[in-house]
Amino acid sequence: MCALDVRPAVATERLLLRGPTAADVAPIAELANDLGVAGMTSRLPYPYGQDDAEAFVGSVARMNPRTEAVFAVEHRQFGVVGVLGFHERAPGRSELGYWFGRPFWGRGYATEAVTGALRWAKGDWRRNVVWAGHFADNRASSQVLCKAGFLYTGDVEPRPCAGRNGQAVPTRMMVWLA
Amino acid sequence: MTAASSRRSAASGHALPVQAAIVVAGVVAMAAAGRFSIPIGPVPITLQTYALFVLAGLFGGRLGLGIVLAWLACAAFGLPVLAGGAGGWKALVGHTAGFLAGMAAAAYVCGRGAERAKGWPSLVALFAAGHVIVLAVGWAGLASFMSPGPAFETGIQPLLLGAAAKSLAAALTVRLVSR
């Protein structure tokens, strides 16, 4: 890593979104190793160990910053509470994904982080359209995305869920239009 | 001869500098109308179509189209002339691109129609048809981001009442100004 860290950071009222570092491996491994968390994301395997977290942090360092951006979501008091990222599923199609550790559910952190990330995506990353999807059985994520301004596209796609043994889960697609 | 047709012959009879002045004033009017923007969803309610149809009704299809194209060119070069002060080519090709393209088409169609229209009720019908063009093309553009059903519910339906009101207001304005 170069001395001058040029990776972006976003500050919200209670949270800081910044690039994940080696110091985040332990809290990420602890929070992600929860079927209630992994079962609502497409990528997180379950069980989730220290090596998974290390591999994840390593993969973020190799990402192309023009097409992908991943943030560790850090609470100003409690440290890392979750992870949020934009991935390119198809050329020019940025898709938002996130997860938050169970102790930090129900306090509006996800909405705050997503809102801050969208502000960054529009202002600094110059994105006018961001996609997202939530598993049809994930009401909390539906509320987060609606509050952040996402609209249902009307499409429901089967998406594999690593935490549910790769089983395809109906995913309601949403879009955010700047 | 209707007010619009007399206006039209007056406008097209003008020398080029006068026509250019009309286009510049039209662009300013479109930009000002975009400042009255109510962000109700992915597509804001603005006074743009009101200004558009007044301009097309007063100056005819050719100048009306010229105004819209000049306005869009200004937006492409980054001037904050679109709804809510937006500008730049990304705003131009975004999810409201269909509405902007529809406005160019509607300016020409309604301008040409206004040159022949008799009385204000026919202007109301004409401008309502113009709104149908704007909304239909806008809907098609929005439907490239979501299914047609949700695109209509979130992006078109909330605009219908305003479109009807603006058709009536634009027709009355054209009638009053050109009297």
State pLDDT tens for residues A69-99: 999 999 999 999 999 999 998 888 999 999 9
Inter-chain CB proximity A177 and B145 less than 8 Å: yes
Give the dihedral of Cα atoms B96, B99, B104, B105; nearest 10 deg: 140
Topology annotation, domain A10-127:
Aminopeptidase (3.40.630)
Q: How far is A169 from chain B (nearest CA, A)?
A: 20
CB A73 within 8 A of CB A109: yes
**Residue B56: which CATH number?**
1.10.1760.20
Say which DSSP state A110 is in: H
How far is it, in rounded angstroms, from Cα B171 to Cα B122? 9
A146: nearest CA partner in chain B: B41
Angle formed by the axes of helices B3-13 and B97-116, to 10°? 100
Residues of chain B with a CB closer than 8 angstroms to some CB in chain A: 41-42, 90-91, 94-95, 145-147, 149-150, 154
Inter-chain CB proximity B146 and A178 less than 8 Å: no
CB A137 within 8 A of CB A79: no
- Computed over every residue of chain A, the mean pLDDT equals 91
Give the number of domains in chain B.
1
What's residue A9's pLDDT?
A: 87
Q: How far is A3 from chain B (nearest CA, A)?
A: 34
For residue B150, give the nearest of A126, A153, A178 by CB distance.
A153
Q: Where are the domains of chain A?
A: 10-127
CB B23 within 8 A of CB B66: yes
Inter-chain CB proximity A153 and B41 less than 8 Å: no
Averaged pLDDT, A40-54: 92
Q: How far is B39 from chain A (nearest CA, A)?
A: 11
- Is the pTM of the predicted complex or chain greater than 0.80? yes
Query: Tens digits of per-residue pLDDT, A99-141?
Result: 999 999 999 999 999 999 999 999 888 888 999 999 999 999 9
Three state DSSP letters for B4-30: HHHHHHHHHHCCHHHHHHHHHHHHHHH
Q: How far is B3 from chain A (nearest CA, A)?
A: 41
Which residues in B lie closer than 8 A to residue A151 (C-beta atoms)?
41-42, 146, 150, 154
Residues of chain A with a CB closer than 8 angstroms to some CB in chain B: 126, 128-129, 151-155, 175, 177-178
Inter-chain CB proximity B91 and A152 less than 8 Å: no
Sign of CA dihedral A120, A122, A126, A131: positive
A174: nearest CA partner in chain B: B146
Taking 70 as the pLDDT cut, the residues of chain B under it are 1-13
Does the structure show a pLDDT above 70 at A6?
Answer: no
B4 to A20, A64, B67: CA distances (angstroms): 64, 57, 17
Residue with tokens 């806008």: B138
What's residue B176's pLDDT?
A: 92
pLDDT cut 90: percent of chain A above it:
80
Say which DSSP state A64 is in: -
Which residues in B lie closer than 8 A to residue A126 (C-beta atoms)?
90
User: Which of B26, B124, B117, B36 minimizes the C-alpha distance to B72?
Assistant: B26
Task: Compute chain B's Rg from CA coordinates.
Answer: 15
What's residue B2's pLDDT?
A: 44
A42: which residues sit within 8 A by CB, 6+ positions away? A97, A159, A160, A161, A162, A171
Domain range spanning residue B28?
3-177
A153: nearest CA partner in chain B: B146
Which helix (H) or strand (E) segment is A154 a member of?
strand A151-161
How far is it, in rounded angstroms, from Cα B140 to Cα A92? 20
B167: which residues sit within 8 A by CB, 6+ positions away? B53, B124, B127, B128, B130, B131
Which residues in A lie closer than 8 A to residue B90 (C-beta atoms)?
126, 128
